[in-house]
Amino acid sequence: MDLGINMKKTLTINGNKTEVKVLDLNQTNGVVSFEFEGKNYSFSRNSHRNNPSISLTDSLNNMNHNVVLCEDRAVVSGLDLSISTYKYQRSGAGGAEEGAMVSPMPGKILKVSVKVGDSVKKGDALIIMEAMKMEHTIKASSDGEITAVNCEEGSLVDGGLALVDIAQ
Amino acid sequence: MTNSNNKSNQKIKRILMANRGEIACRVVRSCRSLGIEAVTLYTEKERELPHASAGDISVCLGEGSLAETYLNIPKIIDICKQYKIDAVHPGYGFLSENSQFAKTLEDNDIILIGPSAASMDLMGDKKASKISMEKLGIPVIPGYHGDDQSVDTLKVEAKKIGTPLLIKATAGGGGKGMRVVYDLSEVEEALESAKREAMNAFGNDQVLLERYIQNPRHIEVQVLSDSHGNHCHLFERECSIQRRHQKIIEESPSVALSEELRAKMTADATKIAGHINYLGAGTIEYILDEDGSYYFLEMNTRLQVEHPITEAVTGIDLVKEQIRIAQGESISFEQDELKQTGHALEVRLYAEDPDNNFLPSIGKISYRGFAGAGVRLDTGYNDKNEVTIDYDPMLAKVIVHRNSREEAINDMKSALLEIPYLGVKTNREYLSRVLSHPKFLEGVTFTHFVKTYENDLGPVEMSNDQKAQAVAAYLLTGNFQDYDSSTASPWESLDGFRN
């Protein structure tokens, strides 16, 4: 079955919005061609569709690659990567969705370095917190604008709380 | 001091594992192999973790803090009585070096698979154990920790210790009040400035003096002692690759030891075990200087996390030996039969973010993967298990044993690709970076390795070609569960393609 010719798919890769132009996709037969970052790619899948450990053959040079993909996490050549369909409509604070900088564990907020409206770059230090007797820096997972700061200096927070929201 | 245990020579039929996670699962395996029943413990929140159901019987400790569960001695004793437990294996951490626990078990006529309370107490006191080892003729790091802080006394002590000399504020931290002196003529000036700095930083100018070891390696020797006076060593492990003073990569043999040095260090280890009339498995930790001098650091009176590499190179199951020794049998081998074969490597896979100060991470493991041929995976987590902040963030130990160090390193890197533990941030990538570092490959490993080569060990940028592979996998597997249906898009039609 032939599916989706010349369709744009918007993905979020490692927190960054990325356009992929799908040239051909047939999931049943396991073949896909697409344009990504100005280059054409063509792959066929060798493994069963439901297996998170995915064997691919690059049809252009006949090289085999192994990719592990489960939910929105992948490993390629031993390197970690997050990949998901880009969400146009963002929900507010409280979730652990892309764009929310979440406290990794309960702790005390030592420093808040940003305020609503600030532009940040991926990797910028947003919050310094103390947890398990150590200082931890919460860094921006992507470029964007701060839309909410949900904690203040000196406050105690639970693990899993969205401390800062970033809109891309 | 004798090791006569009133339950000696009594066959152990049922063992309680007073621990959790990978070590509980690992001990259960050896129990099964010996035809012994195993009872494991778990807490309410851990019901789905493998160790909770690893034993023949599993007992729930209920809910609460560590003190109310795994460290709750009265509760564990009650369970022992209720389930007619002959012996308790404490694993590592938790109650494994708690002499009060050892005494309580003895009072209740239950065997501890471990040493006597007296050995634990002696080696638990780091200062007293060093003094005792020094008397035995075991080298310890020369130093002065006295209260007499007069410049004259400190200068005399400094001369005794020799250079390079470390001056360190006793209240110190972060390098403040710390000086390294390479020439004794500089001692007085360095003392004054260290004291001044310490006074300003900590309000206390007391300092200690120690021989400064520039490039220390962490070398430890595994020992086994039985109740018949046999004390054996099972060679060394090198555990120099550490982060935050915790080991992350261990290997055996160490490339730093000549046959002569190995013979000296292992002989000292069995001498220590014999001197303190030790019983069971223990580890003598040393610091090795570049010039081949080594110093006793401490003795761990329990099974070590990294024991599997010793098992790999010697072919000896340390837990089985522990159990046999606990029921009064002799060590199953003679010292001179034992050989180190090949090269074994262990890495500790942690749920943590190495690129953000090794911050522990939590989450649900979506896909663990399977370790391939000849790879030992000691883990306490399966797919869909939650990693929480309640316990140590170690996910697994991966152990590879090959003919050469190079093969072991290459196969370890392959193994790490097969068990990605997706779903939580891990140090998997970071471990591969260390394993690929030219200095590691050369065997130039020191305890400050990860700090020294910090700049080489940062994240590796993924190429577009690599990202394209992930895009292909993503498109081909139709993994679109995060698809936002409120956005009109032809991709909705993909839903029909599931199954």
Chain A residues 46-65 within an 8 A CB cutoff of chain B = 49-50, 52-54, 56, 58, 65
Residue type, B257: L
Order of strands across the sheet that contains B87-89: B57-60, B37-42, B14-17, B87-89, B111-112
CB B291 within 8 A of CB B217: no
Q: DSSP 3-state assignment of B15?
A: strand
CB within 8 Å: A81 and B486? no
A94 CB-near residues (< 8 Å, 6+ apart): A100, A162
Q: Which of B194, B211, B228 represents a domain boundary (last residue)?
A: B211
CB of A159 less than 8 A from some CB of B: yes
Q: How far is CA B21 from CA A76, B283, B466, in A?
A: 29, 22, 35
CB A153 within 8 A of CB A112: yes
- Whether residues B437 and B422 share a domain: the answer is yes
* Residue A151 pLDDT exceeds 70: yes
pLDDT at B334: 97
Mean pLDDT on B106-130: 93
Q: Which of B211, B238, B254 represents a domain boundary (last residue)?
A: B211
With respect to residue B131, please indicate whether it lies within any of the assigned structural domains. Answer: no
CB within 8 Å: B362 and A25? no
Residue type, B374: G
Specify the number of domains making up chain B: 4
Q: How far is CA B43 from CA A106, B48, B302, B460, in A?
A: 20, 10, 23, 39
CB of A13 less than 8 A from some CB of B: yes
Q: Which of B86, B208, B222, B223 is nearest to B154 (CA)?
A: B208
B78 CB-near residues (< 8 Å, 6+ apart): none
CB A73 within 8 A of CB B468: no
The rounded distance, in Å, linking the Cα atoms of B141 and B163 is 12
Tally of residues, chain B:
499
CB within 8 Å: A54 and B477? yes
Percent of chain B beyond pLDDT 90?
Answer: 84
Give the count of Cβ contacts less than 8 A between chain A and B: 175
Q: Which of B183, B211, B239 represents a domain boundary (last residue)?
A: B211
CB of B333 less than 8 A from some CB of A: no
* Residue A18 pLDDT exceeds 80: yes
* Residue A129 pLDDT exceeds 90: no
Of B365, B461, B475, B493, which to mutate for an interface test with A (greatest number of A Cβ within 10 Å)?
A: B475
CB within 8 Å: B462 and A49? no
Q: Which of B417, B468, B497 sits opposite A41 (nearest CB)?
A: B468
The rounded distance, in Å, linking the Cα atoms of B236 and B241 is 15
Ranking A44-48, A103-107, B33-37, B104-108 by mean pLDDT, the lowest is A103-107
With respect to residue B126, please indicate whether it lies within any of the assigned structural domains. Answer: no
Identify the band that residue B480 occupies on the pLDDT scale cut at 50, 70 and 90.
low
CB A167 within 8 A of CB A143: no
Query: CA B458, B459, B464 angle in degrees (round to 5)?
Result: 145
- Whether residues B293 and B428 share a domain: the answer is yes
With respect to residue B296, please indicate whether it lies within any of the assigned structural domains. Answer: yes
pLDDT at B462: 94
CB of B460 less than 8 A from some CB of A: yes
Mean pLDDT on A2-26: 84
> For residue B166, what is the domain's CATH number?
3.30.1490.20
> For residue B332, what is the domain's CATH number?
3.30.470.20
Chain B contacts of A52, Cβ < 8 Å?
Answer: 366-367, 369, 422
- In Å, the largest CA–CA distance within chain B is 86
With respect to residue B122, please indicate whether it lies within any of the assigned structural domains. Answer: no
- Whether residues B354 and B470 share a domain: the answer is no
Domain, as residue range, for B41: 14-113
pLDDT at B92: 96
Backbone angles phi, psi at B210, to 5 degrees: -150, 155
Which range of A41-55, A97-111, A145-159 scores highest in mean pLDDT? It is: A41-55
- Whether residues B257 and B293 share a domain: the answer is yes
CB within 8 Å: B360 and A49? no
Q: Give burial (CB, 10 Å; 0-12/13-18/19+) of A71.
A: middle
CB of A78 less than 8 A from some CB of B: yes
pLDDT in tens, A55-105: 999 999 999 999 999 988 999 999 999 999 887 754 443 333 446 677 777
With respect to residue B93, please indicate whether it lies within any of the assigned structural domains. Answer: yes
CB of A25 less than 8 A from some CB of B: yes
Identify the band that residue B479 occupies on the pLDDT scale cut at 50, 70 and 90.
low
Residue of chain A with shortest Cα separation from B431: A78
With respect to residue B275, please indicate whether it lies within any of the assigned structural domains. Answer: yes
With respect to residue B387, please indicate whether it lies within any of the assigned structural domains. Answer: yes
Distance of alpha carbon B406 from its chain centroid, rounded?
A: 23
Residue of chain A with shortest Cα separation from B479: A71
pLDDT at B162: 92
Q: Which of A56, A79, A105 sits opposite B473 (nearest CB)?
A: A56
> For residue B107, what is the domain's CATH number?
3.40.50.20
Residue type, B422: L
CB B104 within 8 A of CB B73: yes
pLDDT at B485: 37
Query: Mind spelling out the 3-state secondary structure of chain A?
Result: CCECCCEEEEEEECCEEEEEEEEEEECCCCEEEEEECCEEEEEEECCCCCCCEEEEEECCCCEEEEEEEECCEEEECCEEEEEEECCCCCCCCCCCCCCEEECCCCEEEEEECCCCCCEECCCCEEEEEEECCEEEEEECCCCEEEEEECCCCCCEECCCCEEEEEEC
Percent of chain A beyond pLDDT 90?
Answer: 39
- Whether residues B481 and B428 share a domain: the answer is no
- Whether residues B221 and B181 share a domain: the answer is no
CB within 8 Å: A85 and B359? no
> What's B494's DSSP letter?
G
CB of B486 less than 8 A from some CB of A: yes
- List B14, B211, B237, B302, catalytic entry: B302
Chain B contacts of A32, Cβ < 8 Å?
Answer: 472, 475-476
- Whether residues B203 and B323 share a domain: the answer is no
The rounded distance, in Å, linking the Cα atoms of B188 and B191 is 5
Chain B contacts of A104, Cβ < 8 Å?
Answer: 359-362
CB within 8 Å: A159 and B362? yes
pTM of the predicted model as reported, rounded to 2 decimal places = 0.83
With respect to residue B196, please indicate whether it lies within any of the assigned structural domains. Answer: yes
CB A22 within 8 A of CB B475: yes
- Whether residues B161 and B243 share a domain: the answer is no
Annotation says B376 is catalytic: no
The rounded distance, in Å, linking the Cα atoms of A8 and A21 is 5
CB of A85 less than 8 A from some CB of B: yes
Q: DSSP 3-state assignment of B319?
A: helix
Tally of residues, chain A:
168
CB within 8 Å: A137 and B357? yes
CB within 8 Å: A75 and B473? no
- Whether residues B261 and B177 share a domain: the answer is no
Count of alpha carbons within 13 Å of B446, Cβ hemisphere only?
A: 13
**Nearest-CA distance B110 → chain A (Å):** 36
- Whether residues B196 and B336 share a domain: the answer is no
Helices assigned H by DSSP within B95-243: 99-107, 117-124, 126-136, 151-161, 187-202
Percent of chain B beyond pLDDT 70?
Answer: 93
Does ipTM exceed 0.90? Answer: no
- Whether residues B73 and B147 share a domain: the answer is no
- Whether residues B353 and B481 share a domain: the answer is no
Strand-pair category, B231-243 with B294-300: unpaired
* Residue B29 pLDDT exceeds 80: yes
